[in-house]
Amino acid sequence: MLLAHQDEDELELQDGVKRPEPTPLPVQQMAVLMLLRFAEAASVFSFLPFLDELLTSVTGGDEAKVGYYAGTMESTRQLVSFAVVMYWSHLSDYVGRKPILLLGTLALSVSMFSFGLSKTFLGLVISRCIFSALNSNAGVIKGTIGEITDCTNSASAFALLHVPWSVGSSFGAFIGGWLARPADRFPTWFSGTIWKDYPYFLPCFIMSMVSLIACIIVCFVLNESVPGSRLYKPKPKDNSPEDRPLLAAQDSETLVSADPATQETQKPVPVRSLLTWKVLLPISNYVSIACLHAAFNVVQPLFLAMPIHLGGLALPTHLIGVIMAIYGVINSLVQTFLLGRLVQRFGVKAIYMSATGALIPIFSLSPAMNICAKLNMEGLVWTLEWHFHIYFHQRNAAEHKAALALRDAVLRLRRDGAFVAVPLFRVNEGPVGPHPVGSYEIWVPSETFASVFSYLCMHRGDLSILVHPLTREQTFTFLTLDENRDHEIRVAWIGPSFPLDLSMLPLRSDEIPLQYPSLKLGYSGTPSLTLEQRLKIGANVERRLQSEKEAARAPPRELSIQRTGVVSI
C-alpha cells in the first residue's frame, strides 16, 4: 500500500492508520553480515574459472570426463550440506549465532587453503566438504538479521543481502581467472617453485585470507543476537510493537514470567503442521529454482573452458574470469535497482514465472554457441615455428660431447647461411620441465624447417631428438597455445623416444610469446603469399594433377578442414 508523508515523525497509510518511520538499520552489524556474504560468494566463485583445467590435471588429462568429476564433487558437497544444515541452524538457537558464524567462516578459510594445495580428486572433494560440513552461514545470517531488525526495516535489510553476494561473485571470479597459473602469466613476480607445483594456490590463498579476516572481524565486532546464550549482552527493553525484533527470541526469565497461553504460543511449531499446500508449493518452487541455479553455476564455467570438440568454447582462464565478473556486476545492478520496481509493477508471480522461463533460452544458447564455434572456428591450427630438443644422458660423457658438437655445427651452418636455426643459450645438464634427461632446445621457423630436419636426421649420430610444433589454435574468436598437445599428440622423434612428464606443462595458454621477433620469421614474419594466392596455387596444382592417374584427388576444402583439423600455412 502506498504511503503518504504526513510530517517528519510519522507516515500515514491511505486508510488513515498511522505508521511510524522505519527504524534505522544497525549499520555496524549489517556491515559484518554483508562481509560474511561477500567472503562466501568470493570463495565459491573463485575456482570456477579454472575448474576445467584443475579437474583435467588431477584426473589424468581426459577432458571428456571433467563434467562427470565436477558433478560428482558438487553433488557430494551438497549432500553433506543437506545432512548438516538443519543441525547447525538448530544449534545456533541454543549456543548463539556468533559461534556458528565463526566456525563456518573459519571452515571456509581452511577449505579454500586446502583446495589450492590439493593435487588429487579426493583432496578436492574433501576440501569442499570441509566447507559444507561446518558452514551454515547462509541460514544463520538470515536468522540474525531477523533478530536485529523489526517490522519497519527488515525488508530493507533482507534486500541488501544480495548485493554483497553479487559483488563477491564478481570479485572471486575475476581473481580466480587472472591469478590462476601465476608462474605462466606473471613469471617475473611468481617464479618460485610453489607457484609451478601448485598453479591454482594463489587465488585460493587470497580467498582463504579474505575469509580469515572476516572471521576476525566477526569475533571482535559482531554482537550476539540470541537472548540467553553465553555471548549475549542484554539491551534496554522497549515494549513498543514496532521495535520488537522480527524474530523475537525470548530468554528464560521472560518465559518463566509469561502466562500459560503466551508460553504455548512461544513453543516451536511442529514440522508436521507446516506440511500444507501453501507451504509445500513455494518450497518446491524454491528447490526447483535452486537446482537450476546450482546447475548453471557449475555448467557455465565448464562450457566456457572445455574444448570446442567436446561442446565448449575453449576460452582462456582469465577471460572466463572476466565474463563471470561482468555477469556478477550486471546481476547486482539489476537486483538492486530494477527487481523491486519490476515486482511492484508486475507482481511476484509474473516475475518468478518470467525468470524461470528465461532459463530455457539460457541453457539452450550454450549448445547453439558451440555449433557456431564449430562452423566458424574449429580446426584452424597454425604451425609456423618448431622446437627441436636434442637429448643426451648427462652422465654419459660421450653423448654430452656429441650433443655439444652437434650444437656447434648448427651454429656454424646458420652463420654460413645454410638455414636459420637458433639454439637456446642454455644447455640443461639434467631433467628440466617435461624433459627427462639432459637437453637443449633449437628454435626453427617453418621457412627453414625442411633444411634443419634433413640435416639433423643425417648427422644426429646416436642422439635422440624430440621435434614438436608451436601451434596456435583458433578457438572461437581467440588464439591459444596448447603445449600439452604439442608435446604429446603433434610430436615426432628422430631416434629412440623418451617418456615425457607432461604434468609440468600448462594445459592451455593464451599467452603466446614471440621468439626472436627481430628475425621477422615464423609468427613474427609477414606471409609471402596471401590466403587467396595460396588457394589459386592449390587449384592450379589440382587441375594439373587431373591427368596424373597415380595421384590421389583432394576432397572438398570444407571436408578436408573438418577431418584433419589443420590448416597449413
- HEC profile of 10-62: EEEECCCCEEECCCCCCHHHHHHHHHHHHHHHHHHHHCCCCHHHHHHHHCCCC
Q: How far apart are CA 505 and CA 521, in angstroms?
A: 25
- In which band, very low, low, confident or very high, does the pLDDT at 116 lie, cut at 50, 70 and 90? very high
CA–CA separation, 261 and 220 (whole Å): 39
CA-based nearest residue to 247, from 157, 161, 162, 335 = 157
Which of the listed CATH numbers 3.40.640.10, 3.30.70.1240, 3.40.50.1860, 3.40.1170.20 matches domain 385-524?
A: 3.30.70.1240
> Cell digits for 379?
580446426
Alpha helices in 347-433 (DSSP H): 348-376, 397-415
pLDDT at 331: 84
C-alpha cell at 268: 516451536
For the chain, give every domain's residue range.
24-224+316-337, 385-524
- For residue 244, the 8-state DSSP code is S
Contact present, 392 and 403 (Cβ < 8 Å): yes
Cα dihedral 148, 151, 156, 158 sign: positive
Stretch 439-451: mean pLDDT, rounded?
Answer: 93
CA distances from 102 to 107, 113, 210, 497 (A): 9, 17, 14, 56
Mean pLDDT of 317-341: 85
CB count in 10 Å sphere of residue 100 = 25
Q: Give the closest residue to 224 by CA, choosing from 116, 127, 325, 92.
A: 92
pLDDT at residue 415 is higher than 50:
yes
Which among 199, 161, 204, 182 is positioned nearest to 43, based on CA atoms?
204
Digit-coded pLDDT (tens) for 181-200 = 898 788 788 888 899 889 99
**Long-range Cβ contacts of 231-239 (<8 Å, 24+ apart):** 231/96, 231/98, 231/99, 232/96
Place of cell 548485493: 163
Q: What is the mean pLDDT of the chain?
A: 81
Which architecture does CATH list for 24-224+316-337?
A: Up-down Bundle (1.20)
468: enclosing H helix or E strand: strand 464-475
Question: Is a pLDDT exceeding 50 seen at residue 566?
Answer: no
Tell me the pLDDT tens digit for each residue of 542-562. Answer: 888 888 888 887 776 554 444
pLDDT (mean) for 243-259: 49
Q: Cα(142)–Cα(159) distance, rounded to whole angstroms?
A: 11
SS3 275: coil
pLDDT at 1: 32
Confidence grade of residue 129 (pLDDT, cut at 50, 70, 90):
very high
CA distance 229 to 249: 11
Q: pLDDT tens for residues 11-37?
A: 444 445 555 677 888 899 999 999 999
Beta carbons of 524 and 500 less than 8 angstroms apart: no
pLDDT of 509 > 80? The answer is: no
Residue 236, pLDDT score: 58
Q: Whole-prediction pTM value?
A: 0.66
Q: What is d(CA 439, CA 436) in angstroms, rounded to the nearest whole number? A: 9
Place 247 in a pLDDT band, splitting at 50, 70 and 90. Answer: low
Q: Give the helix/strand (H/E) hosting 469.
A: strand 464-475
- Asked whether the CA dihedral 299, 301, 303, 305 is positive or negative, the reply is negative
Of 135, 191, 172, nearest to 46 by C-alpha is: 172
Instruction: Report how far residue 473's alpha carbon sits from residue 309's, in angstroms, rounded to the nearest whole number.
Output: 13
Distance CA 85, CA 74 (A): 16
More confident position, 549 or 505: 549
Can you list the alpha helix ranges (DSSP code H) found in 186-316? 193-197, 201-221, 252-257, 260-265, 277-305
CB 475 within 8 A of CB 315: yes
